Amino acid sequence: MIKKLAQHEFICQGLNELYATKNVKYDDSFSKSMQEYGPVVLAMRIGDKFNRVKALIKDPTLNTGDESLIDTLKDLANYAIMGMIELNPMTVFENVEVEEEIDEEEIDEESVEKADLQAELEDYTRTELIEIAKQLEITMNKKVNKEEILKLIMSKKPGEIYEAVSDLFDSEDEEVED
């Protein structure tokens, strides 16, 4: 049970990071749509994601595209949470004490930078991502897939990632010159 609780906490942390990134990237479009059209937006978005889940389960070969079953489940979970926030924003926080003021500008800048960096890294091959992970001293098993490698890399600070990418290309340039 403790292991599952830790997994749940890890997943929720990832959901929060994904939400922060996508919310900046899409300019809070879900909230704006909810304000304009009401709760039907929640039903539509969750319905679309649920249909995607069914399609991916029926035909796992669809999983090779831009959105895996796990990605779709993450989006589904985030839509459920976003729905709770939009339907009754105060209920979510009635028993939560905020320890410090959050600097939204700082979060937005970092989220945008991470979103841009992730989009750039998604174009890299699995082999290139493994090399970047090595530069970042990330250990992983040999069976790890490209998506998992990218997630591990994105857990690092953007500056560290840029430096590792730069080091990778510097070493490739040296090999070409030899």
Residues 114 and 140 in one domain: yes
Question: Is the predicted pLDDT of residue 93 greater than 60, yes or no?
Answer: no
Q: Identify the weakest region by mean pLDDT among 2-16, 94-108, 131-145.
A: 94-108
Rounding to the nearest 10 degrees, give the CA dihedral for residues 71, 108, 152, 173.
Answer: 120
Residues 130 and 167 in one domain: yes
pLDDT of residue 176: 47
Mean pLDDT of 45-68: 85
Helix axes 29-37, 40-58, angle to 10 degrees: 120
Residues 70 and 23 in one domain: yes
Rounding to the nearest 10 degrees, give the CA dihedral for residues 68, 73, 8, 127.
Answer: 10
Domain that holds residue 7: 1-97
* Domain boundary residue, one of 62, 77, 97: 97
Residues 34 and 55 in one domain: yes
Q: Which among 67-76, 90-99, 145-154 has the top mean pLDDT?
A: 67-76
Residues 33 and 75 in one domain: yes
pLDDT of residue 30: 93
Residues 39 and 117 in one domain: no
Comparing 45 with 155, the larger pLDDT belongs to: 45
pLDDT of residue 36: 92
pLDDT of residue 169: 72
Residues 131 and 64 in one domain: no
Residues 45 and 108 in one domain: no
Q: Cite the DSSP H helix spans in the chain.
A: 2-25, 29-37, 40-58, 69-87, 89-93, 104-121, 126-135, 146-154, 158-177
Question: Is the predicted pLDDT of residue 38 greater than 70, yes or no?
Answer: yes
Residues 91 and 7 in one domain: yes
Residues 13 and 48 in one domain: yes
CA distance 139 to 101: 35
Query: Residue 60 — very low, low, confident or very high, per pLDDT cuts 50/70/90?
Result: confident
Residues 162 and 120 in one domain: yes
pLDDT of residue 140: 79
Task: Tally the domains of the chain.
Answer: 2
* Domain boundary residue, one of 97, 116, 149: 97
Question: Is the predicted pLDDT of residue 171 greater than 80, yes or no?
Answer: no
